Amino acid sequence: MSTKDIFLTKEEEAEVVEAIQMAEKNTSGEIRVHIEKETSIAPMERAVEVFHLLQMEHTKERNGVLIYVATQSKQFAICGDQGIHEKVTNSFWDATKEVMLSHFKNGNNKQALVDGILKAGEQLKNYFPFQEDDTDELSNELSKGEL
């Protein structure tokens, strides 16, 4: 495997985790990233599946957000829990998706994730502000499927 085939280096992975930590300082929403090689179904459908596999519905306010990426399929999707759906429309994630898409197009995977995470955090802040008694309800570590 050449360096080019690696979606994120170890250092870049650490930066993505840091971005999640930063984003979660603004909001009670919980952001996770799942990366796998490919998906045979629509990325959004797969994102919903992974969301449940990771038990991301286990947040008090039902405000978990999964950023799902299928690296070889060159697909990604953002899936929010029902607490978010109750407050916003489907276009809520458009700005986040746009930011990510432009970086992915330029081959900058790390920046796509970092900026997507920070943007998602900013948007979540309006509906789910950070609470004094915040706990880290969902791990900030990257989730990885078959790569």
* Residues of this chain, 12-41, that bind Ca ion according to CB under 5 A: 30
Three-state DSSP class for 68?
strand
- Taking CB under 5 A as the binding criterion, the range among 7-15, 61-69, 117-125, 127-135 that sits at the site for Ca ion is 127-135
Instruction: Based on the shown chain and the rule CB under 5 A, indicate whether residue 141 belongs to the binding site for Ca ion.
Output: no
Instruction: Based on the shown chain and the rule CB under 5 A, indicate whether residue 94 belongs to the binding site for Ca ion.
Output: no
Instruction: Based on the shown chain and the rule CB under 5 A, indicate whether residue 138 belongs to the binding site for Ca ion.
Output: yes
Strand pairing report for 143-144 and 64-70: unpaired
Encoded one letter per residue, x for contact with Ca ion by CB under 5 A and - for no contact, window 44-83 reads ----------------------------------------
Q: Is the dihedral of CA 136, 94, 43, 36 positive or negative?
A: negative
Closest contact distance (angstroms) between CB of 24 and Ca ion is 5
Residue 126 C-alpha from the chain's centroid = 18
- Pair 79, 44: CB distance under 8 Å: yes
> Using CA atoms, how far apart are residues 76 and 58, in angstroms rounded to an integer?
23
Taking CB under 5 A as the criterion, the residue among 18, 45, 86, 136 binding Ca ion is 136
Binding site for Ca ion (CB under 5 A): 30, 134, 136, 138, 140
